[in-house]
Amino acid sequence: MRDEGVKFVVNANVGKDVKVEKLRRDFDAIVFCVGATKPRDLNVPGRELNGVYYAMEYLPQANKATLGEQC
């Protein structure tokens, strides 16, 4: 993904360390990723759009496949 131009920033506090306005100005798309095993709905613009899913619906199966386990 880096080879395609994706920039990864970890351990950033959006709104404090980096302003949302700067992200919107500097990038075509923004993806906020957080880690948790229990999904929590977020009240953010676009959450209601088609194609927005909880990652935990897919990650356990994807992790097992990466490890070579049958899914």
pTM of the model: 0.42
Which is higher by pLDDT, 50 or 61?
50
d(CA 49, CA 3): 28
| Reported confidence tier of residue 71, pLDDT bands at 50, 70, 90 | low
d(CA 52, CA 21): 22
- Report pLDDT for 4: 87
- Report pLDDT for 48: 93
- Report pLDDT for 64: 81
d(CA 2, CA 21): 23
Record the tokens describing residue 12, joined without a space: 């950033």
Alpha helices in 18-58 (DSSP H): 20-26
Nearest residue to 44 (alpha-carbon basis) of 30, 55, 57 = 30
Residues 13-60: pLDDT tens digits? 888 888 989 999 998 888 887 666 788 888 999 999 998 888 877 878
